[in-house]
Amino acid sequence: MLKLYGGDRSRASIVRWYLEELNVPYEFVKLDMQAGEHCQSEFLAINPMGKVPAIVDGDFQLWESGAILLYLAEKHDKMPPTLEGRAKIAQWVLFANSSLSIGVFVEANRERELPRLMTPLNEILEQQPFILGNEFTVADVAVGSVVGYKY
């Protein structure tokens, strides 16, 4: 069974959300990050950066929430058939984990970045139920996880 490594209130919740949507069985391995379990050799063998989330799926190890989301979408046949469609998914997942995350999570950036980023996002979601149209995709998990963050 796929193992998802995370901690209390960590970005593993992003991957967890998508695994639940996909109905994929998984084991959640909760690291005691306060005690530094993510910096111990057992976990560093999975992610040498010492960050969660990470997954182990059979013999395959992967870290970075965005990469894990894209892997799961691909593995479970949730990616669009065209190169352009897949590129759009990658665009939103990368946006969520870079520009949007920096705008939301870095307090000093919020005043400047939130109106710039949330206004077009609102406009898109006023026109359609999901980021890429009428169907829920992994892009909604990536963007929704950041937008839903309570600071």
Distance, in Å, from the CA atom of 149 to the CA atom of 140, rounded to the nearest integer, reads: 14
Q: Which of 4-19 are b and which e, b meaning 16 or more Cβ less than 10 Å from the residue's Cβ?
A: bbbbeebbbbbbbbbb
- Residue closer to ligand GSH, measured from CB, 83 or 108: 108
Q: How far is the CB of 123 from ligand GSH (least distance, A)?
A: 26
Q: How far is the CB of 24 from ligand GSH (least distance, A)?
A: 18
- Residue closer to ligand GSH, measured from CB, 8 or 135: 8
What is the CB neighbour count within 10 angstroms for residue 132? 18
Q: How far is the CB of 65 from ligand GSH (least distance, A)?
A: 4
Cα distances from 120 to residues 123, 131, 139, 143, in angstroms, run 5, 11, 15, 13
- Residue closer to ligand GSH, measured from CB, 43 or 115: 43
Chain residues binding ligand GSH by CB under 6 A are 10-11, 38, 50-53, 64-65, 97
